[in-house]
Structure 1
């Protein structure tokens, strides 16, 4: 470096460096910032503002119909997952230029609220039966209204946009009237009928339940093998069969001893091989500690495949197979009830009935048949030609035997009150005791099996014969066929949802829609007392609907029958049905009163979105209701998500202490973290959440925020005047825009199929790897130190402006608070970020050649970086700017990729060279990349005090002897513009 006389003192050039400047904070402060932004959106009526803008532009309409959460308690993490996913849909559709209709709603009727109100009245010393029905329903309504308001605030805190002021609720008067109207459609079409048959009955809840309200849990039940003595049959007395059957017993096996008093038949399968087995030896009393119930000489009729297991269970040690019993003989047998010797009430004949439901896979090969307590039992009984009237009523609504049941009157099958509520009562034990007394209990044991429980009360249920109202699944123009066709025509995300709901609909029984409760929409109809047929009169229906619309469901229960029937009917001739509708029917009708007929919506909905359990719930009830009244599904597509588990994959529960509450995350980290967690997850499977996962999400959030912050700082003062046309952009910027073009297509495609992870993951990778680790690092020297008029710097800022605009759009549906904050930080006078539309990236950005070129450059860069890291680790250099690597490329294409490229800028060194010469033996290489070699050398020259690059030219400009020529020109310009 030449010496200059009278050189000035060293200057601090920091003020001349164009470092990023922004007021966008590094720390988000989300828990405080988010509520302020929500208030701003609320005051501006953001949702309706965007809708109006889209409608004015003639945008296509997208309808997301909300599956109603239950208005009972604070929202949990599952609610948050569901509503955030829905908000992703709403915002992503706005993003892609749609008008979006989304009306949040609530399910208000049903047992959970009834129970809460019962508890409140009990706490005041009043039992439910002592409270007038109208007062009870009023309390239920007020309770639900309170929780709707609470949950609405909690959902809005998640950043969820929608028609919050015009929400729907199944308990609104107009809604109850519309549900009634939909019910009347089934009534008038003949799809509705009353049937007396066994249904799932919850004694704890005192109501019938549909399949969709049942879940199965492990349960230990008593098992019994019971003898039904043969009393007579259709045979000639001289036959061998008579000799071997006249003192034998048919043996059944059951896990429900309490149903023995309801037994009226034993079923067999003509395709199963049956034999008479004579016991020849049994275990001794000394060996067992009790006298066995089976004795030598006992004759038992059993299925051949199951005989050994049964006899062993009975403590027999030896037996012989006497004779086979053909189907025609079995069908002619008459058996004695096993309790007949104790009470004449059981003195009837027990017939043998043929049935395909009988197998020889387990049990004895015979099925104890109680037609009032089993679906198969009921069907085989009626198929045999016997009447409905012959089916006994054995168990009352409270789960106790009726008073007319011999031996067991009043005993509880299931306890319904006190600490033992939901537990099996004394009935099982009492029945077994009486069977021992008659000598007809052959054996007993215990078995753990899957048992039906109410999914609300979690208490066991029983099959119980009771008159109920059903919607027919089969018949002319079958509802089942319509539903299956609708499933085939619906898009499912993920697609396996189609098979899941299809399998359920294909096999489901008729839809049980009546419930014996108070809080709900009534089956508002009358039944002719003489014929038992429902009254079908549109004028009556219209009066019912109008009065319910005016006064709610209470009108049905409180107004005189004559008000509804009018002058044409005598109220004394009709029975008013006071059952309420299955709440799934309520919610299955939501499409009819929420989207259908509204000017700013359309039917059917474009999308239904709920948890995977709704294949048996809301998705299915909506499907059946709509197919039954309109012939097709109320939706074009169905999206399902999994459940939220803790970090170990365990179900959350307060007792385990592993519950993660969305309210806590909002307070501690911000809702944005919760939204980002949802976006990163594969929601089609069960999701996990916990402290570590939240922290990982926070780390990802910070990286994304820092990318946006860096862009804001780098673009400080940018205007369109400095923009560079695409044709004049350097290779690196053209490469970055090619990456933007490709990523933009991926983002748009991912939003189209609701794959939010396929949005946020590639965008995050792009921000962290392509931008932060490559592009920003390469261009920071030009960005900080080049003169503002420099083409390279202007090109960089042109690309960064595009990057900012695209990233704040791509992530707007997901990181909605942060992207709004970033957008308004740069454009405070513009409309909210949500008003913007993500237009397709210009085709000119698509540049495959630059993509290929930079793929080769990045491969070379990876080897150079590793070589420099070696020297840094060995303390040879402290910074890459101290190096001047020489890179040897045996690949001609890789060498050509560096044409017109400043290799030193790419490598972040002060100097660099690239050659196709052969490398020296000591050159650095990476395993797997032998075509690239790096020879290390120290940079020559002096260190520029502004850019810190080491160059021979430093000191050649007398004005700024401690700067490189580039930096000297930039400072001279800066001094000129800042003079005075």
Structure 2
């Protein structure tokens, strides 16, 4: 027998020495042994690998595949809506993780016969792009149209670089038909969403606190804020003397001040109230060092005493509800008084249990102001300086850098100020959005609570930005009254103009074209000359959130099967898409959500140029400087994505990439072995019917069917990592260690067109086809390369146009599993009797009492003794004797072993535990000089099987 090696795939390509070992005599038989042959290379590295991948993309029509599958008739459809990456930089590994993950699923769905809808898109507007495009120029002296032109050019450059990378990674799409948020048709669809939400009263203009950037001169979304983790807020305690005691405690007649604590001293001038918690307990306390009296929460007394460095004596204790009606003197503005008010946002974690409330500078504060009709006074200008309302001492001082001890506050280039902005009333949408989310499948399920929490946190959504680069809010303002003109007629007209000309026309066209007479008439407005056009643009989250309207509305269901994005989109695109879709259509735009983690370094750290741990996908594919950065090609990058647990953060670095390359190399070895043994085999003409196959071959088809079911299920669950684990287990256990090691004698030494060899080749072709298709979504380049060498199809046909794994229910046969698995149990007993020794040197006697197990073994070996039966092949022994009891003349030196095997047929209806015994003795036969099995009568003779084959050849 050929030597058993750890990888049987290597075997066929390393036995050239087979006929050199014992002199020239063996050369007589060299040509009669059918060794594996294939032009499929064992290894591809460096430039050869890169050239081959690009050649495969060209030859196998990667660029046309998406269009081809869109044109074919398909019963089922699959829609993965692409979240738009931001067009502000080069492609990075985060893009690779996201785009390849999507592509793996799309290619799988296409292979299984579904018509895939996948239109890649880009998010093209926004402050970061505008700032990068302008660079050192700033906006001084530039018109809005000049700014927009520069920003567009910058975005187009980033899109071109990213698109080229996505194509190189093998992502399947029609790259000439993408969506861009700066396209006129997209903007028109977005304005339609805006108009429908406005007509439902969900979009309104108001004066509310929003995050404001003085340096950029615009409102900001929370997603645009960057917090400095090193920043330490300057905290102060401030006293608000009580000028009117709450009625229920007025009898105390004490001079007491309300004590408040804030980390934002600069907001104190804008104070309009002090809030308390109605359900908490409050105390009036007296300082031991100066007899001052404070009102504080009872449970905060000890902490405040420690901080002040003095004892606090309790004068009286009250329920929070008794504080109603109290009025305080404002600490910085003479003659101003502010009320004590109940509020749910007050906590006892820090401070005094009494909260300074400035509606102009806090979201929760604004809610209190709305409830109690408090004024919202803004004392800070757009440039971040106090205005005259703050008083002469503070006017013109920057809240960012100057001011006195009470009001100086540094807040990382961003603070909250009230501004006339456009808002979406998310409060009225929340319940509908939550209800819609209940019908959405979320992977992983743990992300659902984060989605709901993010929804809860958003009380309103500021959608206006004071910039030039974006989709204009289609509003006009009356020159005298300042009243906004916006309705379905004006918005529809502007949307049509944007569709035809793009949104630059907002500046290019005269106001009379933007507001033609028929629109003014329907709007019951005056002349166009009475109005000026608004200058605010829409928040980019509204831009991208409306993508369902621009991309999905033409589809029959108008909902995507799935959205797939990183966890940062829980409060971003996932949410803005949900809110806009629920607002307009009362349904979510997606049936399921897949939330993946971020790409991080191998130490689990965030990637940063300053740290030097950034992994560039271009360097991964094409190689970098020196041997530490080899060219891995696109399939290694794709394997890394597939193998990762994408539901957590995904590590990438030299060891992960090297491991991916090694795994692909082992897989390549297996595929080469399969191809080599299929040389000259045409399944269309020479395939054997499963019913005529050897039992082990039929059994392998059964295992292949099980494998294909597991792989299909894993892909359906977005679990490509499980696909790889199932693949590697199948190759290692079922193929390399088991089937390949058993069949090599039949493959190499049986007659070329014998039933046994053709039976084996039929199965090898099915395995090759099944394994190649199963890895194709992950490794499309290698899969198509294998398919170019594989038998059984026309040369011009490509794998991706020929479907998914073709497993058949015919491959399941009653009794088949039990026959082979029973034999395998006996084989395990046999091999454990001769640990580390060559099974081919031994004869095996198997004794089984009459019954089911004996009948099953008889199906593998009809005669009492054989060197060529299916049972002998499975055992890999020289000879197998099958009997109902041990022979009396058994060699006293024989190694004995016993075992049992549980037969389970017809779903448990037939269950029988059968015992067996085995005896193992060294064979007396000689080694055949051709097949090297111990089945010859003497050392110089061929065994009967080889004698017959050689004589027929001559």
TM tier, shorter chain? Answer: 0.7 to 0.9
**Residues 796/64 of structure 1: CA separation in 2 closer, same or farther (3 Å cut):** same
> Per-residue CA shift, 1:396-435, capped at 9, x if unaligned?
3333323553323333333xxxxxxxxxx345746379xx
The unaligned stretches of length 5 or more in structure 2 are 1-22, 521-525, 623-630, 862-869, 902-913
Cα displacement (A) at 1:335: 2.3
In 2, Cα distance between equivalents of 1:490 and 1:892? 55
State the Cα distance separating 1:839 from its structure 2 match.
6.1
**Aligned partners of 1:257 and 1:428 also within 8 Å:** no
Bigger shift: 618-627 or 651-660? 651-660
The residue that corresponds to 1:463 in the other structure is 416
568-577 or 619-628, larger mean C-alpha shift:
568-577
**Is 2:449 the counterpart of 1:487?**
no
Equivalent pair of 2:195/2:492 in contact (CA under 8 Å)? no
RMSD: 3.1
Moved more, 223-232 or 893-902: 893-902
Distance in 1, Cα, partners of 2:917 & 2:387: 93
CA deviations over 1:188-211 (Å, ceiling 9, x no partner):
232211121112333344322334
Q: Which residue does 2:536 correspond to in 1?
A: 579
Paired position in structure 2 for 1:265: 273
Q: Distance in 2 between matches of 1:94 and 1:428?
A: 67
Pairing 1:221–2:233 present: yes
1:845 and 2:811 equivalent? yes
State the alpha-carbon separation in 2 of the partners of residues 594 and 464 from structure 1: 36
Cα distance in 1 between the residues matched to 2:572 and 2:600: 21
Give deviations 1:813-837, integer Å, cap 9, x for gaps.
Answer: 1121111111122346242111112
Give the structure-1-normalised TM-score: 0.84
Q: Is the 8 A contact 1:64 1:102 kept in 2?
A: yes
Structure 1 position 473, deviation (Å):
2.5
- Aligned with 1:593 (options 533, 545, 550): 550
Q: Distance in 2 between matches of 1:602 and 1:708?
A: 41
Q: Secondary structure at the match of 2:563?
A: strand
Q: Secondary structure at the match of 2:339?
A: strand
Picking from 275, 278, 285, the partner of 2:283 is 275
Checking the alignment, whether the CA contact within 8 Å between 1:233 and 1:329 is kept in structure 2 is no
Residue 170 in 1 paired to residue 187 in 2? no
Tell me whether 1:61 sits opposite 2:77 in the alignment: yes
- Offset at 1:84? 0.7
Mapped contact 1:71–1:108 kept (Cα < 8 A): yes
Where does 1:860-871 land on structure 2 (aligned, <5 Å)?
860-871=826-837
Give the corresponding residue for 2:945: 966
1:889 to 1:504, Cα distance in 2 relative to 1, 3 A: farther
Deviations 1:810-866 (A, max 9, x none): 222112111111112234624211111226622111235322333333344344444
Match of 2:338 in 1: 350
The DSSP-based 3-state class of the residue aligned with 2:390 is coil
CA distance in 2, matches of 1:127, 1:772: 65
Does structure 1 residue 45 correspond to structure 2 residue 64? yes
Which secondary structure state, in structure 2, belongs to the residue aligned with residue 740 of structure 1? Answer: helix
Alignment of 1:399 with 2:384, yes or no, is yes
Report matched runs for 1:449-848 at 5 Å: 459=412, 461-474=414-427, 478-528=428-478, 534-567=484-517, 568=520, 569-571=526-528, 573-597=530-554, 603-667=558-622, 668-719=631-682, 720-826=684-790, 827=793, 829-838=795-804, 841-847=807-813
Between stretches 681-690 and 147-156, larger displacement belongs to 681-690
User: Superposed, which structure 2 residues align to 1:241-260 within 5 Å?
Assistant: 241-242=252-253, 244=254, 246=255, 248-260=256-268
For 2:688 and 2:673, the matched residues in 1 are separated by: 20
Instruction: Name whichever of 76-85 and 920-929 sits farther off.
Output: 920-929
**Match for 1:366 among 348, 354, 370?**
354
Corresponding residue SS for 1:628: helix
* 2:259–2:354 CA contact under 8 A, matched in 1: yes
Is 1:88 the counterpart of 2:97? The answer is: no
Quote how far apart the aligned CAs of 1:145 are: 0.7
Q: Distance in 1 between matches of 2:654 and 2:948?
A: 53
Does residue 882 of the first structure (1) align with residue 841 of the second (2)? yes
| Structure 1: stretches of 5+ with no match in the other structure | 1-6, 281-294, 341-345, 415-424, 434-450, 454-458, 872-878, 956-960, 976-980
Counterpart of 1:946 in structure 2 is 930
* Equivalent-residue separation in structure 1 for 2:406 and 2:316 (angstroms): 35
Q: Deviations over 1:241-277 (max 9, x none)?
A: 21x2x2x211001111221222222112333222221
Q: Distance in 1 between matches of 2:403 and 2:823?
A: 81
Which of the residues 408, 413, 424 maps onto 2:399?
413
Query: Which residue in the other structure is 2:3 paired with?
Result: none
Match of residue 3 from structure 1: none
Distance 1:235 1:592 in 2: 57
**Matched-pair contact (CA < 8 Å) for 2:329–2:336:** yes
Are the structure 2 counterparts of residues 887 and 675 from structure 1 closer, same or farther at C-alpha, using a change threshold of 3 Å? farther
1:862–1:205 distance in 2 versus 1, CA, 3 Å: farther
Aligned counterparts of 1:383 and 1:174: Cα–Cα separation in 2: 42
- Per mean C-alpha deviation after superposition, the further-off stretch among 796-805 and 38-47 is 38-47
Q: For residues 907 and 649 of structure 1, do their structure 2 counterparts lie closer, same or farther at Cα, with a shift above 3 Å needed?
A: farther
Bigger shift: residues 904-913 or 809-818: 904-913
Residues 328, 972 of structure 1: alpha-carbon distance in 2 compared, 3 angstrom cutoff: closer
**Contact 1:266–1:351 under 8 Å retained in 2:** yes
Q: 1:99 to 1:172 in 2, by over 3 A?
A: same
Distance in 2 (CA, whole Å) between partners of 1:684 and 1:909 is 48
Distance 1:812 1:711 in 2: 16
Native 8 Å contact 1:95 1:837 kept in 2? yes
1:324/1:783 Cα in 2 relative to 1: closer, same or farther (>3 Å)? Answer: same
Which of 53, 57, 77 in structure 2 is aligned with 1:34?
53
Secondary structure of the residue aligned to 1:275 is: strand
Contact 1:679 1:756 in 2 (8 A): yes
CA distance in 2, matches of 1:893, 1:691: 55
The aligned counterpart of 2:367 is 379
Segment of structure 1 superposing worse, 171-180 or 858-867 = 858-867
Query: CA separation in 1, counterparts of 2:24 and 2:207?
Result: 106
Q: What SS class does the counterpart of residue 100 from structure 1 fall into?
A: strand
Tell me, yes or no, if the aligned pair for 1:867 and 1:934 is still in contact at 8 Å: no
Distance 2:948 2:466 in 1: 89
1:441 maps to none
Judge conservation of contact 1:359–1:365 (CA < 8 Å) in 2. Answer: yes
Contact 1:910 1:949 in 2 (8 A): yes
Matched with 1:338 is 331
Q: How far off is 1:468 after superposition?
A: 1.4
In structure 2, relative to structure 1, the CA distance for the partners of 1:221 and 1:917 (3 Å cut) is: farther
Compute the displacement of 1:717 (Å).
0.8
Using the TM superposition, give the Cα deviation of residue 313 of structure 1 relative to its aligned residue in structure 2, in angstroms.
0.4
> Structure 1 375/733 Cα, relative in aligned 2: closer, same or farther at 3 Å?
same
